[in-house]
């Protein structure tokens, strides 16, 4: 996102505590764009730090991406998730209020649809919400918090973007996802198998009621996701209170279709074994993208092969992520 904003001429002010990210990514953003993010390392729960950043910069709008996002970890350490994801959002909102910055784009997730009924696909934004795990509950609670602060006559202009399954990388291959520890998500894990960092992929469940028996998800290229944020930022002035918009492709792909696409990208077969279902997985999830198209004039353009080709380029150039030798 920083690359695209800097390339568009915007000043970008960033805060991150590097909990699941790496300072090397900022150096690479500067190498690509020739411009620097005005960056402060720190925790969003540190109100003094936020005040300092708001005072030092003319901030017109905030994109709030920060948050822990591993479903399994959230089940093991729910309090950690509530303290971090809710605490950081509350402190950020208080600081925004104090500094009279009321424009916000929030990274929400299709996880707020809970365990949706397969008969209700594709998912529209008015699908009843629910939470299947503590991580999902933090996203849902933040959405509710934002709805409360933006209710009635209020200065807030908020877009909650509900991401489906983001994958891919910057087309240069020098910026991508570098999960700490063993990846929980399908594409990062599959790519680590492709680069022989892990021996094989476990496919969680082959007996779902889907054409090939594996779960179906709506994978979306991060570059399309970034374009969605740019459109949301441009439209924020027209928002009255708060709106939620799905960012997905509207196309469902099975786990085995992803494995095949990853194999095509890497030019090798990806070894896998079908194992038991992972508890809590919904069989089928994909987006209705009508609102994104009508409201933002946005639609995803890049298909699964494109996502895997870009993700593979990143993985191949950086087999050990940002901690390895320079890309
Ligand atoms: C999860 C979260 C979602 C979050 C996303 C990205 C829920 C229910 N889902 O999505 O909110 O935005 O992560 O952080 O909260 N799979 C395998 N083997 C693996 C890993 C995954 O077969 O090693 C399968 C899963 O069973 C699933 C599919 O691949 O069917 C996608 O899984 P994953 O990448 O973890 O994403 P979600 O669970 O859809």
Q: What is the pLDDT of residues 98-123, one digit of tens each?
A: 999 999 999 999 999 998 888 889 99
CA distance 231 to 322: 29
Q: Any long-range contacts for 31-36 (C-beta under 8 Å, 24+ apart)?
A: 31/174, 32/3, 32/170, 32/172, 32/174, 32/175, 33/2, 33/3, 33/6, 33/7, 35/6
Instruction: Read off the pTM.
Output: 0.96
CA distance 64 to 102: 12
Which tens digit of pLDDT belongs to each residue from 165-200? 999 999 999 999 998 889 999 999 999 999 999 999
- Higher local confidence (pLDDT), 66 or 119: 66
Neighbours of 215 (CB within 10 A): 25
User: What is the number of residues in the chain?
Assistant: 327
pLDDT for 280 equals 82
pLDDT for 85 equals 98
247, 281, 287: which to mutate for ligand 1, most atoms within 8 A of CB? Answer: 281
pLDDT for 326 equals 54
Tell me the sheet residues that pair with 281: none
How far is ligand 1, taken at its centre, from the CA of residue 165, in Å?
Answer: 8
Q: Whose CA is nearest to atom 8 of ligand 1?
A: 111
| Percent over 70 (pLDDT), the chain | 99
Q: Residues near ligand 1 with C-beta < 6 Å?
A: 69, 71, 109, 111, 132-133, 135-136, 163, 165, 184-186, 189, 201-204, 215, 217, 255, 278, 281
How far is ligand 1, taken at its centre, from the CA of residue 282, in Å?
Answer: 9
């Amino acid at each position: 996102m920083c690359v695209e904003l800097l390339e568009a001429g915007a000043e970008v002010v960033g805060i991150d505590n590097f909990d699941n990210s790496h300072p090397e990514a900022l150096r690479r953003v500067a190498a690509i764009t020739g411009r620097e993010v005005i960056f402060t390392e720190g925790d969003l729960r540190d109100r003094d730090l936020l005040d300092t950043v708001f005072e030092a910069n003319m901030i017109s709008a905030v994109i709030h991406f920060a948050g822990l996002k591993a479903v399994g970890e959230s089940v093991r350490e729910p309090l950690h998730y509530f303290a971090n994801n809710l605490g950081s959002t509350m402190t950020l909102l208080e600081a925004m209020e104090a500094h009279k910055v009321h424009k916000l784009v929030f990274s929400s997730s299709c996880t707020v649809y809970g365990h949706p009924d397969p008969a209700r696909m594709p998912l529209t934004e008015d699908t009843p919400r629910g939470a299947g795990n503590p991580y999902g509950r933090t996203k849902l609670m933040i959405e509710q918090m934002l709805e409360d602060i933006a209710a009635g006559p209020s200065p807030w202009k908020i877009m909650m973007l509900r991401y489906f399954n983001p994958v891919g990388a910057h087309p240069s291959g020098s910026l991508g996802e570098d999960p700490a520890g063993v990846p929980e998500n399908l594409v990062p894990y599959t790519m680590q198998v492709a680069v022989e960092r892990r021996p094989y992929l476990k496919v969680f469940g082959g007996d779902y009621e889907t054409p090939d028996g594996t779960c179906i998800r709506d994978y979306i290229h991060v570059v399309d996701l970034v374009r969605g944020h740019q459109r949301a930022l441009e439209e924020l002035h027209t928002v009255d209170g708060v709106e939620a918009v799905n960012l997905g492709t509207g196309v469902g792909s099975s786990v085995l279709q992803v494995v095949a696409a990853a194999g095509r990208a890497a030019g090798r077969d990806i070894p896998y074994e079908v194992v038991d279902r992972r508890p809590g997985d919904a069989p089928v999830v994909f987006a209705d993208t009508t609102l994104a198209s009508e409201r933002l004039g946005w639609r995803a353009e890049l298909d699964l092969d494109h996502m895997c080709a870009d993700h593979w380029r990143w993985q191949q150039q950086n087999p050990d992520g940002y901690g390895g030798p320079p890309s």
